[in-house]
Structure 1
Amino acid sequence: MSAIFGILRFDGREAAASDMERMGGALAHRGPDGRRFAVDGPIALGHCLMRVTVEDDFEAQPVCGGGVMLIADARLDNRSELARDLAIADAELAALSDSALAHAAYRHWGADFGAHLIGDFAIAVWDGTKLILARDHMGQRGFVFHRGAGFFAFASEVKALWSLSDVPRELSEDEFARLIVHDKTLNPGATPFAGIAGIGGGMTMTVAADGMLETQTYWEPHADPAHCGKDEAYYVDAYRRVLEEAVACRLRRLKGTPGLVFSGGYDSAAIAGLAGSVLEPAGKKLAAAASVMPAGYRGTIRHARRWVDMCIRDMPWLDVRYVTREGKNALSGLDRRWLESGTPNFSYGFVQDELNATLAGAGARLIMDGHGGDYTLNPRGQSALAWFLVRGRLIRFGREFIGQLRRSERSLWQTLKSDIAGVLAPPAIRRWYRRRTPLWNGAPIAAGFAADLAARGVLHPDRIAGRVHDVLAMRVSMIGVLRRIMERPIAHGAAEAARYGLELTRPFHDKRVVELGLAIPEDLDVKDGRNRYLACRALESVYPREFQTRWRLNDDLIPDFQRMAKSIEPQILAEIARMEQSESLTRMFDFAKIRALLAARGIDDHNSGWEQETQIALHGFLAARYVEWFSRRNR
């Protein structure tokens, strides 16, 4: 987790070293091992260094040579393949940093070099006539920019841009409104901040010397043809082989202890189990932080402790630290979190802080989590029964229907209603049902404000969570999710992890994993009434035996969410009473609805962290608090 930053001026002035000092200072937490920049007339490029891999010992950025200057926040996983294509000898490669390897790749392939790289990266190249910015396939490294009057500035984090006096510090009301209503698709490259956009995953951007911008897509989510049309045995083997390599790439070159945000689910447990092939022979441990209920808890809140305990039993390389959140809540350290991360993270920010602090305390610099499994290798198969029925595969439908009743916690009526009737209802009927509620559905956004946004096309039914879509087009839906993630210029969770000196990477967002997942036939999403079927087959020797009969319910990061929210309800209500005096806030937020949603459930009326009404209320309240905080701070 290093950082990059830079300025290109196209107004005839030279880039200022003082601007680079300020930008680098804003990213100092990402450069504990050094910070350097170079100024050459209108261009200035800077780098903050945190050594994570053994090759980082050779980093000396910016890398210059052959008329090309390059900076990179990168971990390249295909070093050997690149060295072969670039005619780099093994002895030379051993002492070559990833940035120097990327520099050689650019000199060989030019602006298309990003398509030849595998790993997590954000790279900027100046070749004397233009600036080329490249971001990794799934956008695991953040990359934001501002094009102002006479200059272009970019950085790994938003707050580095704000260190420049000519960059606005304002919210974009339209984009922020989309956050309030859980808009599924923000405008590609958009951020909640006025004047600040970003580069999507799988894209390059060229900035000409006169400031003209041009973007190109070098990769989109797709099925790798090499994986298409195979039998089940092939996919069982490929599942383990590809995912194990994605995990190993993130571990085998580490200088220190790796970390894992461990939910105890199928995806994070897969990472934990597969890490053993690299860590156990080396006598290393995987530090894992799991958010669970306190030891000895015997209530009805479902949480991950028993699944994590099973993994500890079977994976001796695990070093698990439990996080139980006593004395912490969604208001803990709120203003400081927003100030340090520069991003609006809401209800779950405090527990993410606890998990990150725990892993940093265990000596980790690189951490992983299981995000991405649901929409790559491990779709939950919620539409599978209807999918079989529509395609006339009646025998398979009957087998899976009976199997699901046997394995799941749902009744016959619940299965018929949710997994068949709800999926197969004609789109016209579902749209009619949705129209009985406002466009913005249950979100506590002020009706007049939302209506104005809808009239201007800012909000649209097909973009908001819960709206009608073709749920039977399962692979199409997966690609839609992947694209939405790629379009975010601010990498989710990365800035928050960086506050603790951590580099966040997601094995299930590896392009090789994505391309395999999209090639797996839909009929392997479930089998014999078992969801996560392929995972259970491929990782049978990795998972604890109890995972073979486990149902698809996930355990929430804050299982006692309802208790937590009720404990701070008096403070929330007092703050709402104060915020209601603000005309600008009441124009945007429906505080009466927030109150009603908070009152919908009692302290013991929990759903193991999945309390929808309380979740919506707290999200709306914290969004209002962020608007107030941001406006006050940036007057």
Structure 2
Amino acid sequence: MSGITGIFRRDGKDVDPSDIKKMNDKIAHRGPDGSKVWCEGPVAFGHQMLHTTPESLHEILPFEDEESGLVITADARIDNREDLAPKLGIEDNEHVSDSYFILKAYEKWGDKCPEELLGDFAFVIWDKNRKTLFCARDHMGVKPFYYYLSNDIFLFGSEIKSIISAKEVSCILNKNKVAEYMSLLFEDKQNTFYEDIIRLPSANSLSINYADHSKHNYWELDIEKEIKMDSDEEYTRAFLEIFTDAVRCRLRSAFPVGSFLSGGLDSSSIACTAKIILSEEDVQNFHTFSAIFESTPESDEQHFISQVLEEKMFMSHFIKADKLSPLSMIEDVLWHFDEPLYTVNNYIHWHIHKKASETGVKVLLDGLDGDTTLSHGQRFEIDYFKSLKWFKGFKELYLHCKRSKRSILKQHIFPSLILPFIPLFFYNIMRMLRIPIPLEMGTNNFINKKFANETKVKRKVLTHENQFRKARSSKSYHYLLLKRGILQSVLEKTDKSSAAANVETRYPFFDRRLIEFCLALPLDQKINDGWSRIILRRAMKNILPPSIQWRVDKGHLGHNFRKNFLLFEKSVIDDTLFTKTNLIDKCVNIKSVREIYKNYVYDQSISPLPIFGVVTLSIWIQKNFYRFNYD
């Protein structure tokens, strides 16, 4: 976790060194271990260093290789150094930085170099010979990359705040992004809440020279790829090997390492696998960080957390999340995020990152969205129906619903065997008539009708819904889940939370090799005998306590959120919905949100999610003084 900034004057003028220093200073919090800028003619790079890996202790960025005429700045961890070293003719030792591997990869493969890299990265290389700037972001978007591009100048940074500090950038609110935010649509991978500031999408590279620029998607999941093995044991061994390596390469650190531990299958698998790896290397200090909810038993998982801690020797740490407000530290959070947030449980991550930093942990493993990588086998009913294996399909459906306590008709038969085959014309009529449809998301009425029409946001929502509706196999559904923009958005938000605490968060379940492997698995390795994520369950035999290995439920953090949001923030909610409505009334259906609030006050089982979104949007606009002009 470091920070990068840069300027490329496409008009050919020299960069003023004070401009790059100003940009770099704006993200000083990302790198307490060193700050440096490089400036030459029309190009300038900045870097804020956070030491995490052993190699980073010897790394100085920006770095200029005079022999090749290349200059690099990077926020990166490269995991396939051992494989790259002989191909690049360099040594793999702690005196050779990850950024040097990237630079040499570019020297050898040019614009195709990201295809050869494994890990999390955002980097920019100035090629003096080609007079070209080359930028790239990792496969899933773990490392952030924002930029501003005009005919005269190109600006980039790890955070938006460094870019809007430049005099060339006007802070114009992006009303389309606001509309998507209010419609719970987080699929766009490029736009931000600032009209002219763009995100480089995950798995993309960008080449820029004085006259032209081009973007390239260098990696795509192969939906046609299939893995065929002879037995469940063989699949399990192959999965465990990849999963273990995904954890191992993310343990590379010069400082104490820790992991989130919720007591669920994903976080417990990572923590226990990491502990085994470190024990083999005779490293005893491995930390776990858990949120506990003693006053909210529906959210509390201490029973399962304690079982993991009993099995292994961990240094455990806890935060009492039931004592925290969902808007805890909201002004600091919004300053770091540069945008409003809809991630209601961010406050838990915020305090865990802070706790990790206080204990000296600089690297934190996170089991974020193992569900998506592994797949629950959604739409498996269609696969069995089309293959005429109806008896096996019904047995799978019966067992799965029995274990997960789900409705066969509402949560399986209708969304899987009826909805995908409804013609689009009739589907759109159902949506217009507000007929309840059990989909992942739906257009709500929290958005101002005039604003919704102006931004055409309902069409975007319907397009996204229809994508998933038309998925007529488990694999195609899995593929769509892995490509969702919300994954990149959540990673970007978590990055800001981590950076605020000088901690680097790493995600084993977002390892490219693991994702490719899981997508290519046959259906019976995703769901079998009613057990979803079956391959991880099998792989964790003798690693996890059986009670966690075969868990089908998880603690519902929503209970704590619903209780504490009203308990701690009633005055803020009242202020937003009844006093400062002028900040949001052009985009929000205030009457509708007030009605939800009224019901929520008397019944905390009602979700206050739209209220939370409206409140954070209002606070963000109030604190940033941007013009909210829709005329």
- The residue type paired with residue 421 of structure 1 is F
Contact 1:443 1:616 in 2 (8 A): no
The one-letter code matched in structure 2 to 1:587 is K
Match of 1:136 in 2: 138
1:376 is the counterpart of 2:373: yes
Report the alpha carbon displacement of residue 371 of structure 1 after superposing the two structures with TM.
1.6
Structure 1 residue 222, shift from structure 2 partner: 2.6
Cα–Cα, structure 1 residues 52 and 461, in superposed 2: closer, same or farther, change >3 Å?
closer
- Note if contact 2:452-2:458 (Cα within 8 Å) is conserved in structure 1: no
In structure 1, C-alpha distance between the alignment counterparts of 2:401 and 2:72, rounded to whole Å = 57
Please name the residue that 1:436 is paired with: 433
Change (3 A) 1:599 1:322: farther
CA distance in 2, matches of 1:599, 1:230: 58
Please give the alpha-carbon distance, in whole angstroms, between the structure 2 residues aligned to 1:160 and 1:115: 28
Name the aligned partner's letter for residue 354 of structure 2: A
- Of the three residues 612, 623, 628, the one matched with 1:629 is 623
Match of 2:75 among 73, 76, 82: 73
Q: Is the 8 A contact 2:27 2:162 kept in 1?
A: yes
Amino acid at match of 1:418: Q
Which residue is equivalent to 2:515?
514
Alignment of 1:452-601 (within 5 A): 452-454=454-456, 459-463=459-463, 469-485=469-485, 491-551=492-552, 553-557=553-557, 559-567=559-567, 568-580=569-581, 582=582, 585-601=584-600
The SS at the match of 1:587 is coil
Instruction: Tell me the residue number matched to 1:11.
Output: 11
Q: Separation in 2 of the partners of 1:70 and 1:79?
A: 18
Deviation at 1:471, TM superposition (A): 4.5
Which whole-Å CA distance do the structure 1 matches of 2:491 and 2:475 have between them?
Answer: 25
Question: For structure 1, which segment, 353-362 or 483-492, has the greater mean C-alpha deviation from structure 2 after superposition?
Answer: 483-492
CA gap 1:394/1:326 in 2 versus in 1, 3 angstroms: closer
Q: SS at 1:53's partner residue?
A: coil
Q: 1:99 to 1:519 in 2, by over 3 A?
A: same
Q: 1:559 and 1:322 mapped to 2: Cα distance?
A: 19
Alpha-carbon displacement from aligned partner over 1:140-173 (angstroms, at most 9, x marks no partner): 1001100135111111111111221222223211
Q: 2:438 — aligned with what?
A: none
SS at match of 1:600: helix
Distance in 1 of aligned mates of 2:399 and 2:624: 52
Distance, in Å, in 2 between the alignment partners of 1:6 and 1:171 is 23
Using the size of structure 1 for normalisation, the TM-score is 0.90
Measured in 1, the distance between the counterparts of 2:465 and 2:577 equals: 25
SS at match of 2:586: helix
Aligned to 1:45: 45
Superposed displacement of residue 577, structure 1 = 0.9
State the secondary structure of the residue aligned to 1:388: helix
In structure 2, how many angstroms separate the alpha carbons of the residues matched to 1:451 and 1:522? 41
How far apart in 2 are the matches of 1:366 and 1:404? 37
Contact 2:226 2:522 in 1 (8 A): no
Change (3 A) 1:350 1:405: closer
Note closer, same or farther for the CA distance 1:475–1:337 as it changes in structure 2 (3 Å cut): same
User: Which of these residues, 410, 415, 420, is aligned with residue 413 of structure 2?
Assistant: 420
Instruction: Give the CA deviation at 1:511.
Output: 0.7
Aligned residue for 2:37, secondary structure, equals strand
Question: Deviation at 1:302?
Answer: 4.0
TM-score, normalising length from structure 2?
A: 0.90
From 345, 356, 359, the counterpart of 2:356: 359
2-structure distance, mates of 1:388, 1:121? 40
Q: What amino acid is aligned across from residue 146 of structure 2 in structure 1? A: V
- Unpaired segments of 5 or more residues in structure 2? 436-440
Return the letter of the residue paired with 1:82. L
SS of the counterpart of 2:8? Answer: strand
Deviation at 1:463? 4.1
Secondary structure at the aligned position of 1:493 is classed as helix
Determine if contact 1:573/1:595 at 8 Å carries over to the other structure.
Answer: no
Structure 1 position 230, deviation (Å):
5.8
Q: Aligned in 2, Cα 1:420/1:196: closer, same or farther, shift over 3 Å?
A: same
> Counterpart in 2 of 1:395?
391
Query: Quick one: distance in 2 between partners of 1:554 and 1:434?
Result: 31
In the alignment, the residues of structure 2 paired with residue 173 and residue 228 of structure 1 have an alpha-carbon distance, to the nearest angstrom, of: 48
Root mean square deviation, CA, Å: 2.6
The one-letter code sitting in structure 1 at the alignment partner of 2:513 is R
Q: Contact 2:121–2:143 at 8 Å: present in 1 too?
A: yes
Q: Work out the CA distance in 2 between the residues paired with 1:437 and 1:467.
A: 19
- State the shift of 1:98 in Å: 0.9
- Distance, in Å, in 2 between the alignment partners of 1:287 and 1:466 is 43
Q: Which amino acid aligns with 2:245?
A: E
Residues 349-401 of structure 1, C-alpha deviations (whole Å, 9 max, x = no match): 32222121111122111122112312212x12343345423432122123223
Q: 1:500 to 1:548 in 2, by over 3 A?
A: closer
Which residues in structure 2 correspond to 1:146-545 (within 5 Å)? 146-186=148-188, 188-210=189-211, 212-222=212-222, 227-228=227-228, 231-251=231-251, 253-281=252-280, 282-294=282-294, 297=295, 301-316=298-313, 318-346=314-342, 347-377=344-374, 379-410=375-406, 414-425=407-418, 426-428=421-423, 430-437=427-434, 441-454=443-456, 459-463=459-463, 469-485=469-485, 491-545=492-546
SS of the aligned residue for 1:254 comes to: coil
Counterpart CA distance in 1 for 2:574 and 2:466 is 28
Q: Secondary structure at the match of 1:308?
A: helix
Comparing 125-134 with 177-186, greater Cα deviation is found at 177-186
**Shift in alpha-carbon separation, 1:2–1:574, aligned structure 2, 3 A:** closer
* Whole-angstrom distance in 2 between the partners of 1:340 and 1:547: 35
CA 1:154–1:27: 2 relative to 1, 3 Å: same
Q: State the shift of 1:468 in Å.
A: 6.0
- Structure 1 CA distance for aligned equivalents of residues 555 and 415 of structure 2: 24
Query: Could you give the per-residue CA deviations for residues 77-96 of structure 1, whole angstroms, max 9, x where no partner exists?
Result: 11111111112245xx4421
Structure 1: unaligned runs, 5 residues or longer: none
Task: Report how far residue 131 of structure 1 moved.
Answer: 0.4
The CA deviation at 1:226 is 8.2
Q: 1:430 to 1:12 in 2, by over 3 A?
A: closer
**Contact 2:372/2:481 (CA < 8 Å) preserved in 1?**
yes
Shift of 1:327: 4.5
CA contact (8 A) 1:224 1:515 kept: no
Deviations 1:296-339 (A, max 9, x none): x5x662432222112112122x3332222355313332222211
- Name the aligned partner's letter for residue 527 of structure 1: N
Larger mean CA deviation between 220-229 and 416-425 belongs to 220-229
Quote the sequence identity (%). Answer: 24
- 1:250 counterpart SS class: helix
Task: From the superposition, tell whether residues 506 and 490 of structure 1 become closer, same or farther in structure 2 (CA, over 3 Å).
Answer: closer
C-alpha contact 1:203 1:217 (8 A) present in aligned 2: yes
* Structure 1 residues 399-445: Cα deviation after superposition (integer angstroms, max 9, x where no partner): 223423542334xxx22332223322242465443222299732511
**Structure 2 counterpart SS, 1:560:** helix
Shift of 1:274: 1.0
